[in-house]
Amino acid sequence: MIEVVGASDADDPIDALRDALTESLKALVASGCGPQHLVAIRWEAADPLRFHPSRHEIELAHREVFAGLRAPVELRRVSVPQHRLRVVALAQAPAAPPSAEPVYRGYTLPDLARQYSPRFQTNMNVLFKQWSKDGARFRAGHAGLDLCYGPGRYETFDLFLPQGVERPPVWIFVHGGYWQASDKVQHAQFAKGMLDAGYAVVMANYGLAPETPLTTIVQQVSRLLSYLADQAQNLSIDASRLHLAGHSAGAHIAAMIAAQGTAPTLRSVLLLSGLFELEPLTLLPMGALLKLTEVAVAELSPARMPAPAGIKLGLAVGAGESDEFKRQSQLMASAWGSPEPLIVPGHHFSMLEGLNGGALLELAQSLARG
């Protein structure tokens, strides 16, 4: 058994948790382990309630670092803390190093993991802190926040309405996070480009895996589109003109909804650095976590499905993406006969900045105008 420790003296509990968990993850990786090897984790603080896992912001910060590969948390009060928060993680070391034999398209297992791990492209701790601040700043002063479209805890959305536009068309954005992490709050700032162009912008949330199965996640976002259509009068939108966009896992969700044809007023779909063929994920730890059986892969890989009729499709991928992420977008374009994916500046995450100006925003607007 391996024990690693992370600690933080940050005043804000969310920052403290992000910092301590990130430090413990680095120590875990340095020990030859990963999140999939976690057995138990303990959080020590003078005031444990500030870090209670049931708090929404705390749960999100936990997911940001370990996604769905999280061990149950033990909260422990310490009377004389050395740090404001101390994280102690126990992991079971792997029995043997991964094989050097290719497992998929010539990639060894470690290489395949890197291909499908965009986290290697940036400092995720810094990124999520910045996105949370930017999102909160953008949301300030807006009225249509945290509206519910279903009974689930995460079945909520933010609605941003453009000024001076009566019954605007609707642009819906579905965030990524490998179906297991992130939140609409951290993406609100990417609504600005389409909002300024006169579109109502909906930022969607959905239940997170593994607690919420992928099929249910797709159903939830599809239910959101139905809700927008049913409540169009009350929401002051034109739900006969719905345009759906998604990033990463959110692009997979958007593609699935388009393929299933469950949203009759859907006019366009914009897929950003998405996952459309799920077979390679079955070889990684998340495959078992997400229950990606052979049947599930066949049912949840939109690149294997017929192209939807009557829906304009656009794809884009970051220039700094891995080869496999680029291949996924190319595969989807070929499968559905869409134009070649637009290559935009940035990596998997920074590419989203293009939604507020540049070629990516132009693509989004051109799809929505059609």
Q: Are residues 78 and 225 in the same domain?
A: no
Q: Are residues 224 and 272 in the same domain?
A: yes
| 84: Cβ contacts below 8 Å, ≥ 6 apart | 8, 9, 10, 11, 16, 45, 46
Amino acid at 193: G
Q: Are residues 185 and 236 in the same domain?
A: yes
pLDDT of residue 141: 86
Q: Does residue 80 lie in a domain region?
A: yes
Domain coverage including residue 91: 2-97
CATH of the domain at 18: 3.30.1330.40
pLDDT of residue 165: 96
pLDDT of residue 96: 83
pLDDT of residue 365: 98
For residue 107, give the 3-state DSSP assignment.
strand
Q: Does residue 38 lie in a domain region?
A: yes
Q: Are residues 177 and 72 in the same domain?
A: no
- By the 10 Å C-beta count (0-12 exposed, 13-18 middle, 19+ buried), 316 is classed as buried
Please, which residues bridge with residue 54 across strands?
Answer: none
pTM exceeding 0.75: yes
Tens digit of pLDDT per residue, the chain (370 long)? 899 999 999 999 999 999 999 999 999 999 999 999 999 999 999 999 999 999 999 999 999 999 999 999 999 999 877 789 999 999 998 888 888 899 999 999 999 999 999 988 889 999 999 999 999 999 998 999 999 999 999 999 999 999 999 999 999 999 999 999 999 999 999 999 999 999 999 999 999 999 999 999 999 999 999 999 999 999 999 999 999 999 999 999 999 999 999 887 899 999 999 999 999 999 999 999 999 999 999 999 999 999 999 999 999 999 999 999 999 999 999 999 999 999 999 999 999 999 999 999 999 999 999 6
Task: Tell me which of 97, 112, 136 is where a domain ends.
Answer: 97
d(CA 11, CA 43): 16
Q: Are residues 68 and 195 in the same domain?
A: no
Structural domain total, the chain: 2
Q: Does residue 116 lie in a domain region?
A: no
Q: Does residue 6 lie in a domain region?
A: yes
Q: Are residues 87 and 199 in the same domain?
A: no
Q: Are residues 235 and 315 in the same domain?
A: yes
Q: Are residues 87 and 134 in the same domain?
A: no
Q: Are residues 147 and 283 in the same domain?
A: yes
Neighbours of 87 (CB within 10 A): 28
Q: Does residue 172 lie in a domain region?
A: yes
Q: Are residues 85 and 167 in the same domain?
A: no
pLDDT of residue 98: 80
Q: Does residue 65 lie in a domain region?
A: yes
Q: Does residue 238 lie in a domain region?
A: yes
CATH of the domain at 273: 3.40.50.1820
Q: Does residue 241 lie in a domain region?
A: yes
Task: Tell me which of 78, 97, 116 is where a domain ends.
Answer: 97
Backbone angles phi, psi at 144, to 5 degrees: -85, 60
Residue 25: closest CA among 12, 13, 41:
41
Task: Tell me which of 97, 116, 144 is where a domain ends.
Answer: 97
Q: Are residues 168 and 269 in the same domain?
A: yes
pLDDT of residue 239: 93
pLDDT of residue 82: 78
Q: Are residues 134 and 41 in the same domain?
A: no
Structure-token pair, residue 108: 């060894």
Residue 208: closest CA among 2, 64, 51:
64
